[in-house]
Amino acid sequence: MKNRVDLHIHTTFSDGTKTPKEVLMEAEQLKLHRISITDHESVQAYQEIKENRELFSGLIVPGIELKTICQGREIELLGYGISIVDIGKNLSSIYQTKEDINRGYLKAIIKVLKSKGIILPDNLEEQYGKENITGTQPAWFVRNAMSCEYEYNMKILYSDSIEHTAKDGFYRKWLSNPESDFYVDYKGYPDYQMTIKLIKENGGKVFIPHIYQYGESSNSILEELLKTRKIDGIECYYPSFTPNQTLYLLEKCNKHGLLISGGSDYHGANKINQLGSGINNNLFVPEDKVKDWTDELSSKMNSIA
């Protein structure tokens, strides 16, 4: 069996369904060689990882995934090798709490959807957070609430009823897409300059994850980020990438002297992506491509207090 690597993993400290301890055990079982837990706006998983470090014999790189704004759109950046202690303290300097962001975003989503004629339950805001329907993501929460008038709402959303896409589609295709009629212009997050600065100031390297999730804006976002000359690497291996997309990004890295990364974006039961192998085994991150920089940044794990 080939040596597997997975540098993009979520736990219960953001929107994954597996605890950090469970992820370590699963990674060990799958004989992964290198992993990074990259929860959204949180490094809390690393306390539990530290306490259970012996469960995983491979190498761990400290990581975080941060939402940020580029070209009016919510995108993500990964920070690897950040000092867990420092970023844990400094995150709140530019990031609101998850709770505040989610509540503000929920309000904005409801306003936009209602203005377009979508029917939603009256007490939606009060319900939010009380019931654990699909976690804490406002987009998923509202998407589910739309089932109160499902057929009617879907007709408005898809106008001429293209096939109904997955929950992810609702967020990427409509809410976070400035080209869509259902775009929610809510800036709950700092712009990418600030996010890059935060990662760098806390000792990390900045990587661009899953760039092709941003539809037609993907290439211009990629170019704008690369133009800053502050990007250290690109996630070239990702379950939904075509071989040509991976090849294109590898060439970009080569040309600009950037580091190469890859991961499954594992969310436990919240996504079909499997740890280390993606969807139907469509992910393989060659270990030799990530070896040098992950070797180096894994030393940052020592400094976890």
Could you give the angle at which helices 192-201 and 84-94 cross, rounded to 10 degrees?
Answer: 150
When binding is defined by CB under 5 A, the residue of 265, 275, 285, 300 that contacts Zn ion is: 265
**Residue number, 41 or 118, with CB nearest to Zn ion:** 41
Distance from CA of residue 276 to its chain's centroid?
16
Residue nearest to Zn ion (CB): 265
* Residue owning tokens 């990031």: 95
Nearer to Zn ion by Cβ, of 153 and 273: the residue is 273
Residue written as token pair 């992506």: 273
Number of residues counted as binding Zn ion (CB under 5 A) = 2
CB of 127 to Zn ion, least distance (A): 26
Region of 23-31, 59-67, 213-221, 242-250 interacting with Zn ion (CB under 5 A) = 59-67
C-alpha to C-alpha distance for 219 and 105, rounded to whole angstroms: 26
Q: Which stretch binds Zn ion (CB under 5 A): 13-21, 94-102, 215-223, 260-268?
A: 260-268
CA-based R_g, the chain, Å: 19
* CB distance 203 to 300 below 8 Å: yes
How many angstroms separate the most distant Cα atoms in the chain? 55
Q: Are 87 and 198 in contact (CB under 8 A)?
A: yes
Contact range with Zn ion by CB under 5 A, out of 60-68, 99-107, 227-235, 279-287:
60-68
Binding mask 65-104 for Zn ion (x = CB under 5 A): x---------------------------------------
CB 128, CB 134: distance < 8 Å = no
Q: Which stretch binds Zn ion (CB under 5 A): 67-75, 247-255, 265-273, 296-304?
A: 265-273
Give the footprint of Zn ion on this chain (CB under 5 A): 65, 265
